[in-house]
Structure 1
Amino acid sequence: MGRTFDFTLTATDGRARTGVIDTPRGAIRTPAFMPVGTAATVKAMLPESVAATGADILLGNTYHLMLRPTAERIARLGGLHGFMNWDRPILTDSGGFQVMSLAELRKLTEEGVTFRSHIDGSRHMLTPERSMEIQRLLGSDIVMCFDECPALPADRDRIADSMELSMRWAARSKAAFGDRPGHALFGIQQGGLEEDLRKASAEALVDIGFDGYAVGGLAVGEGQEAMFACLDYAPEQLPQDKPRYLMGVGKPDDIVGAVKRGIDMMDCVLPSRSGRTGQAWTRRGQVNIKNARHADDPRPLDEACACPACRSYSRAYLHHVFRAGEMISGMLLTWHNLHYYQDLMGRMRDAISSGEFNAFEREFHAEREAGDIPPL
């Protein structure tokens, strides 16, 4: 693979941006939504089905893959792309967030984090250097530096200490990443909801130098209003000519608000997790297929949607298979949700390119406020 990892902005509309990230494994159109393939699979989906929804890139979880089946095993089997049959780009997170949220008996030091696996209680240590090694073994195209993400709310001193530790770990991540042509390393901005701490974090990251920059430490319980208030300044503190990635977001209205504020990339488990629990995301908002109102409804989930669930199946059928606990329920609703998310990204890219993002945003909110189609 050649060295190419480039980001080109093709249009802006206000602070919303559209462009292309070029990687050796293919182009990523931005704004981009990355489906989450936690354990080397997007749950309930075949990789070719995920590609058919329009996804250019997937996210894999360092923490889960290092514990099972292990990064060393995946490397022996040819790397994550071949292992999971996905030939397009993959971004891997650093493992830091999962250690904080899932692991048991964790202990944080300057060196890194020691923890017990949530699977079998085995002891592990994750450091910036080990995180870079795991992500190299996985062979991901975009690597995230190792950071600490404190849960909000937290007091300012705790947030400042955490941010400064993350910046020291970012420098160690960059050193350990080394020179890997065709692969990119992203830094992660921290600082909670404190504008000056975010600015200090951004300056530290730019000083180290990364291929892209993430806004980390949001979507951790602070609420949409606080998140948007932070995004009113945080993306602008990061370089204009590099991709900006908002980690762990989110609901469709979160995504539209983030793109409006200058974000280029997002990921979230929501479309796939919702699909398995009978929740469908549509232009008219959320539809709960469990509800009895759908039992006799021959209409599709969304008549404007071209996914297989909407093209070939009725609400009555989707209601039935969910109630019956059939596997096809999660498969169809996940496909629909991922298709809806990718369609949303495509509509935003088009709106930004044509200078009509504000009109798009008004229509997006108006359709959702109209609510689901009336029951029969």
Structure 2
Amino acid sequence: MQTSSVYTIVHEDSSSKARTGLLTLPHGIVHTPVFMPVGTNGTVKALTKEDLTEIGFEIILSNTYHLYLRPGPEVIEQAGGLHQFIQWERNILTDSGGYQVFSLAPFRKISELGVKFRSHIDGSYHLLTPERVVELQAILGSDIQMQLDVCTSWGTEYTEARRALHITDLWLQRALKAWKEIREKTSYEGILFAIVQGNFYHDLRKLSAEKVVASDTPGIAIGGLSVGEPFPVFQEFLAATAEMLPREKPRYVMGIGTPRYILEAIEQGIDMFDCVFPTRTARNGLLFTASGPISIKREQYERDFSPLDPQCTCKVCRAYSRSYLRHLYKTKEILYAMLASYHNLFFLQNLVGEARKAIEEDRFILFKKEFLSQYERADAETP
């Protein structure tokens, strides 16, 4: 075993860089690799906290931007923090809100000071600085909080990517200082993750990784991937970036939520990942099965009384047919979103659990190959 202040490597696969580990956080231990469902507004859409506990999640993600705008930090602070507000007793990771500012705000202006933006809700103006973002996440009581960073998309020109990285680096140093001060002055115990950026330029990625490693935060996130780039490019930059990070610290790739991307990340030694994809697509009719994803809205399922996924042991697959799920979807019943979201998250939780087992038995590459050969078989449905 190799241990950092918060992370213990339990086993490393003999045929890849995949590993299992234990992440020790204020609200309990998290077994890694781990997929974190996204609860943007303090709730994973269509699911109760009992559902999430039943599936087995040890950590969920919430969004600082959305909670800052509604209901506001004052309300959550008065409630006793986000855990108390949403009645979730396990761990919470909060993102910095930077991505939402850049993707949702109708107006934004980035400077070294911070980012000024207009709310997408009511048009009001706000300023988020690295220090304010640390403070907000401490108010929330985040077990893991992220630094404020500048997000860039696939196709960003080199000059713009370099400027974004320069600001992200400055913000990291200020966030780190603010986080240390809050930890010294208050009872807040949450940890900070720095974020590697640099877009799709190897020299910028290397520069960013060097500065992030030097900052010595308890964990490290790899940002700016899965933003529209082709999968081979994702593979290339994921592998190159992961190789530059210290082995003993937890690694987190933000925004990946399909089986292929998750398994690729695990193979490269990534410990944590999150995405709205499984629940968002569930609500829109896309459901995971061991034989590949299906679009339940299709007419072919109208009289299909077989289980959604015969290989899945979740309560949805044990109780309901494809025909019934299609009926719920077509009639826009609320129950559909509940059952579909539960199933997709159960599917991913089970996949990651099976991946952990395969790593511990030194057969991860074989497991990945066998799973994807069935999931992405030539005759699989293309929703």
Identify the residue that residue 38 of structure 2 maps to in structure 1: 36
| 1:149-204 C-alpha deviation (Å, 9 max, x unpaired) | 11221111211111121011000000111253631100000011122211111111
Give the drift of 1:12: 1.2
Identify the residue that residue 89 of structure 2 maps to in structure 1: 87
| 1:83-124 C-alpha deviation (Å, 9 max, x unpaired) | 111110000000111101101111111100101000010110
Identify the residue that residue 294 of structure 1 maps to in structure 2: 301
Q: Secondary structure of the equivalent of 2:225?
A: coil
Q: What TM-score do the two structures reach when normalised by structure 1? A: 0.96
Identify the residue that residue 160 of structure 2 maps to in structure 1: 158
Structure 1: which amino acid aligns with 2:239? D
| 1:315-355 C-alpha deviation (Å, 9 max, x unpaired) | 11101111111000010000000000100100110111100
Give the drift of 1:293: 0.9
| 1:21-43 C-alpha deviation (Å, 9 max, x unpaired) | 01121111111100000000000
Contact 2:288 2:347 (C-alpha < 8 Å) held by counterparts: yes
Identify the residue that residue 345 of structure 1 maps to in structure 2: 352
Question: Do residues 329 (structure 1) and 336 (structure 2) align?
Answer: yes
Structure 2: which amino acid aligns with 1:166? T
Question: Do residues 367 (structure 1) and 369 (structure 2) align?
Answer: no
2:154 and 2:68 map into 1 onto residues whose CA distance is: 27
Contact 2:138 2:190 (C-alpha < 8 Å) held by counterparts: no
Question: Do residues 48 (structure 1) and 50 (structure 2) align?
Answer: yes
Contact 2:225 2:238 (C-alpha < 8 Å) held by counterparts: no
1:110 and 1:145 map into 2 onto residues whose CA distance is: 14
Contact 1:5 1:184 (C-alpha < 8 Å) held by counterparts: no
Q: Aligned runs of 1:223-234 on 2, under 5 Å?
A: 223-234=230-241
Give the drift of 1:277: 0.7
Of residues 247, 270, 273, the one that matches 1:266 is: 273
1:137 and 1:372 map into 2 onto residues whose CA distance is: 50
Identify the residue that residue 325 of structure 2 maps to in structure 1: 318
Question: Do residues 255 (structure 1) and 262 (structure 2) align?
Answer: yes
Give the drift of 1:258: 1.1
Give the drift of 1:232: 1.7
Contact 1:5 1:24 (C-alpha < 8 Å) held by counterparts: no
Q: Secondary structure of the equivalent of 1:282?
A: coil
Give the drift of 1:207: 1.5
Contact 1:294 1:316 (C-alpha < 8 Å) held by counterparts: yes
Structure 1: which amino acid aligns with 2:9? L
Structure 2: which amino acid aligns with 1:345? V
Question: Do residues 11 (structure 1) and 11 (structure 2) align?
Answer: yes
Structure 2: which amino acid aligns with 1:7? Y
2:378 and 2:303 map into 1 onto residues whose CA distance is: 19
Q: Aligned runs of 1:53-132 on 2, under 5 Å?
A: 53-132=55-134
Q: Secondary structure of the equivalent of 2:31?
A: strand
1:332 and 1:373 map into 2 onto residues whose CA distance is: 23
Q: Secondary structure of the equivalent of 2:240?
A: coil
Contact 1:284 1:372 (C-alpha < 8 Å) held by counterparts: no
Contact 1:272 1:334 (C-alpha < 8 Å) held by counterparts: yes
Identify the residue that residue 207 of structure 2 maps to in structure 1: 200
1:153 and 1:87 map into 2 onto residues whose CA distance is: 41
Identify the residue that residue 197 of structure 2 maps to in structure 1: 190
1:371 and 1:7 map into 2 onto residues whose CA distance is: 40
Structure 1: which amino acid aligns with 2:316? A
Q: Secondary structure of the equivalent of 2:35?
A: strand
2:44 and 2:5 map into 1 onto residues whose CA distance is: 25
Give the drift of 1:372: 7.6
Identity %: 45
Give the drift of 1:370: 3.4
Cα gap change, 1:166/1:226 in structure 2, threshold over 3 Å: closer, same or farther? same
Contact 2:358 2:367 (C-alpha < 8 Å) held by counterparts: yes
| 1:235-268 C-alpha deviation (Å, 9 max, x unpaired) | 1111111100000112111111111111110000
Q: How many residues align?
A: 371
Structure 1: which amino acid aligns with 2:7? F
Identify the residue that residue 316 of structure 2 maps to in structure 1: 309
Q: Secondary structure of the equivalent of 2:264?
A: helix
Structure 2: which amino acid aligns with 1:118? H
Q: Secondary structure of the equivalent of 1:320?
A: helix
| 1:280-329 C-alpha deviation (Å, 9 max, x unpaired) | 01211111110111111111111121112101111111011111110000
Bigger Cα displacement from structure 2, 341-350 vs 46-55: 46-55
Give the drift of 1:373: 8.5
Identify the residue that residue 235 of structure 1 maps to in structure 2: 242
Contact 2:292 2:380 (C-alpha < 8 Å) held by counterparts: no
Moved over 2 A (4+): 179-182, 369-374
RMSD: 1.5
2:163 and 2:109 map into 1 onto residues whose CA distance is: 16
Structure 2: which amino acid aligns with 1:155? E
Question: Do residues 356 (structure 1) and 363 (structure 2) align?
Answer: yes
